[in-house]
Every structure is written in structure tokens, then in C-alpha cells.
Amino acid sequence: MAAEVPQMAANGVESDKPAGLNKYTLLCALLASTNSILLGYDIGVMSGAVLFIKENLKITSVQVEILVGSLNVLSLVGSLASGKTSDYIGRRYTIVLAAATFLVGAVLMGFAPSFPWLLAGRVVAGIGVGYSLMISPLYTAEISPAMKRGFLTSLPEVFIVSGILIGYIVNYSLSGLPQNINWRLMLGLAAVPAIAIGFGVMAMPESPRWLVMKGRTDEARRVLIKVSDSVQEAESRLGDITKAAASTDSIDGNWRGQGVWKELLLNPSPPVRRILIAAIGINFFMQASGNDAVIYYCPEVFKAAGIQNKRQLFGVNVIMGVAKASFVLISAFYLDRFGRRPLLLLGTTGMAVSSAVLGIGSKFLEHSDTKPLWAIIVCIIAVCADVSFFSIGLGPITWVYTSEIFPLRLRAQGTGLAISVNRLVSGVMSMTFLTISEKITFGGMFFVLSGIMVVATVLFYFLLPETKNKTLEEVWALFEDKSKSECDEREMQMKEI
């Protein structure tokens, strides 16, 4: 803690006062994060809409899995492309591109006359989702001060969860309409926030770190003055950014992100290798937890548990959405106080326990002819606990951690690579959840998810360093120093031998 005081003083922040939150920075973070509401709305609304789509278009369970999972699989295309795109045209215009692409997909889905057209809309929307998932937390991390970066960078998850809740409410509200109309309205309404986001983001400034990388230092200074509490803090932040960019020879008006893939994958240094393992690992386990699949197929799970009325099924979804939204806010507000690691480990441990309880409850209901109410209530509580612990840990912290651990030159494309793994695993889980559950039952599936979370907890404990209250430039040193210390330790061992 003592080491942080000089840094705070250097940033123009009084050491005996808590760091404030610049209102302009908050506004920019909110505008950027609203892009994430598009994915949340799709997850929430599709969980209910798919019940009507299945009946209206007469599609099979396999087609349902393809329809649901296709958005997640195709979003990896957007995630992979977003890094290069944002290095080329900037962070702000990439957010606009994400919203525009999702808008086209939403319109296609809303007016789809058949399953192929509906699937085509999901493909386009998926690419837009991939762009938004990478760029929203990345932009927010690059404009945020170190002391508030955890809160601000977790806002995309807050909007994802808010979108899920809105989707549940729309499901519940429109479920009484005719089948050939309700699901079209459910999916097509996503066009409204996409239009608003596209225009709203135009009022945001460009990322100062991207401007420095492009050699536009004066513009970066003007942005930093707006997002900092004082001119002295802005100058200090600009100095740190310029130094970090100069150390990698990245200050160049013609820089377009060239050479990054080679540095990431073909010849990574030990610190970069450790960062890749951390970033890809946390994104892998975020989706291997099965959270997206549980949300998509929650009505199917409780339908098998004995709840047959569609409005009751959607009512359970609303309860789950409220629980999820409440706990993601708790995590966002306390992330900078308690740190990433404690909340992450709490979340994965809680998910392991709640998934095991859900597995036990589901197994009991599978072998019960009467479907007792108390067992159904236990399952509802367990699934709400599962998504709540996800919202405390893996949900928000994955976006925060991924966007802050890569060095400046590698940040956009490295983040895009990690999130593409996120989307691939999410797609695989969504497209196989029902099939696997039919083979081993829902109860068996939840036991598998519980085991995955146990493994995640152990790996996170040993592999992920704490990044709380560190500037983005200081975070790199956490991985670099550990790598150096490991080399020094090996050299000492060799000398002893």
C-alpha cells in the first residue's frame, strides 16, 4: 500500500482522500458499455422466443441448438476482427460498427420468413456481438483511472445483465400474442437500442492511448484533461502512455496494428505467454461454466422439472434476471475495493456449490413422479444462486481482467483473441447443452459444470495476479516481474548445481 502513495501523488491525487470519479469519464464509460446491452437482450429474449419459434416454424431440437449457438460461434469472427479494426479505425468507430452490424441482424431476424433467414440474421448479429464484447471494455479500460478502472470496466457486464432482464420482461409481456407475431417482435425490438447506441457513441472522444499510438499526442492530451481530475494528472497519465508506446516503437502515424499476431502467437516473450494463458484461461472458464447455456435453456430445464405453463416459466426467468442484476451491481461497486482475485474466487466457489445443489435437485425430480413443490423451489434457488455467483465473479471480472493485462501495443488484438475463445466456447456449450443433457440428464450436466468450476478455482488461485489499483502500464510489470523472478530463480538453482 505504501508503494501506491507516490503513484497517487504523481497522478495529482491526494493520498489522504479517496479517489473521485470524473463525471465525463463515467459518461463515456456508460455510453461505450451500452453496446453490451445488445448481447444481454439477445440472450434473455431468445430463451423465451425459441419456445415459440420451435412451435411456429416446426424446427427440431438440433435446429434450436444451431439457432441459439450460431450467434455465439459467429461472434468469434467479430471478436477476432475487432482487434485489427480498432487498431485501424479507432476504438470509437469500432463501437459504431458493432451497433450497426447488430442492427442489420436484428432486422433480418424480426422479418425472417423461414428458418434459413432467421439463421442468417443470427449470423450477422453474432458478428456485431463479437465486436461489441471486445471493444466496450477495452475502450473503457483505456480512458479509466487506475483507482476506478474495475468499476468502470465492469459496466459492460452490468449492461449485459440489464439486457438479459429486459429480454425476460419482453418475453413475459409479449407471450400472450399470436405465435407468428410474438417472437418476431421479441427479436426485432433489439434494433431500437442498436440505433440509439450508434448515434450516442458519436458524442464520445477517441481513446487517448489509441491517439498516442497514432502519433496524435495533442489530441490525446485534450482527451486526458477531460477524463482526469486535474491537468497535472492528465500530464502524468500522458507521460506514462507515451513512455509505454515509445518502449515498443509504436508511436507512428502509419501504425495499423501490424506485427501483433506474430508477437502474440509465433514468438511470444515469457511475460506475453503468461498474459495469454491468463486471458484465454479466464475467458475459457467463463463460458465453460455453462452460464450462457443455463440462461438460454432455463425454461427447458424447469419444463423438465415440472413447470409447464409458459408464463410461469418466463416468471422464473424474471426472478433469475433480478438476482443476476442485483449481484453484478454489488460486484461492480466493490471490485476496486476488494480486488479482482477475492471476488473471482468467491464466484467460482459459489458456482461449484450451487451447480452441485442444482444437480442434486434435478436428479431428485427426474426420479420423482409427483414433482414436489419444495424440490422445484430448491432448484429455482440453486439456479438463481448459480447466476448470482457468476455475476459476482466471472461475469464482470473476465471483461475487466482481459482488457487490462495486455500491454498497449498488443491490447486490442490480444483482447480480441481472448474473447474469440470466449465466444467459441459459449457457442459450443450452447449448441451441445441439450444434446449432452439428453444423454446424461440435466442433473448430470450440472454435476459436470460443478466440476469445471472446481478446476477453475484452483487454476485462478495459482495463475492470476491481483491488478487492483494498478495503471495499465503497471499491470504489464506484474507479469514481467514474475517472469524475471522465475528466470533469476532458475539461474540460482543452476549455480547451486
Q: Does residue 9 fall inside a structural domain?
A: no
Q: Is residue 423 domain-resident?
A: yes
Residue 37 belongs to a domain with what CATH number?
Answer: 1.20.1250.20
* R_g over Cα of the chain: 23
Q: What is the mean pLDDT of the segment spanning 314-323?
A: 77
Q: What pLDDT does 286 receive?
A: 94
Mean pLDDT across 226-232: 87
Cell 515469457, residue?
270
Q: Calculate the dihedral angle through the C-alpha atoms of 70, 75, 80, 82, rounding to the nearest 10 degrees.
A: 150
Between CA 178 and CA 230 the distance in angstroms is: 58
pLDDT in tens, 135-193: 888 898 888 887 888 888 888 888 888 888 888 888 888 877 887 888 888 888 888 88
d(CA 357, CA 370): 20
pLDDT of residue 2: 36
Query: Is residue 8 situated within a structural domain?
Result: no
Percent of the chain with pLDDT over 70: 88
Q: What is the mean pLDDT of residues 387-407?
A: 90
Q: What percentage of the chain carries pLDDT values higher than 90? A: 15
Cell 468469434 found at: 76
In a domain, 5, yes or no: no
Please name the residue that has the C-alpha cell 482487434.
83
Lowest mean pLDDT among 252-261, 273-282, 357-366: 252-261
Q: Summarize pLDDT for 249-272 with one digit per residue, the tens.
A: 555 555 555 667 777 888 888 888
Residue 341, pLDDT > 90, answer yes
Residues 6+ apart with CB under 8 A from 358: 379, 382, 383, 386, 446
Amino acid at 328: V
In a domain, 437, yes or no: yes
Q: Is the dihedral of CA 264, 411, 335, 392 positive or negative?
A: negative
Residue 494, pLDDT > 90, answer no
Of 97-101, 265-269, 493-497, least confident by mean pLDDT is 493-497
pLDDT of residue 278: 93
Domains contained in the chain, number: 1
Q: How far, in Å, CA of 161 to CA of 155, rounded?
A: 10
Q: Is residue 190 part of a domain?
A: yes
pLDDT on residue 275: 92
| Predicted pLDDT at 428 | 85
pLDDT band at 13 (very low <50, low <70, confident <90, very high): very low
What's the confidence (pLDDT) of residue 487? 46
More reliable by pLDDT, 215 or 253? 215
Cell numbers for 383: 439456479
7 is a domain residue:
no
CB of 465 closer than 8 Å to CB of 479: yes
In terms of pLDDT, which residue wins out, 138 or 314? Answer: 138
Domain span including residue 394: 22-492
Q: Which of 6-10, 64-68, 71-75 has the lowest mean pLDDT?
A: 6-10
pLDDT, average across residues 40-57: 82
Q: What pLDDT is recorded for position 481? A: 58
H or E element at residue 215: none
Residue 497 lies in a domain: no
112 pLDDT above the threshold of 50: yes
Question: From CA 265, how far away is CA 245, in angstroms rounded?
Answer: 20
Residues in the chain: 497
How confident is residue 6, by pLDDT bands cut at 50, 70 and 90?
very low
Q: What region does 255 belong to: left with phi over 0, alpha with psi -120 to 50, or beta?
A: beta
157 neighbors 396 (Cβ within 8 angstroms): yes
C-alpha cell at 333: 461497486
Check: CB of residue 126 under 8 Å from CB of residue 430. no
Check residue 8 and give its pLDDT: 37
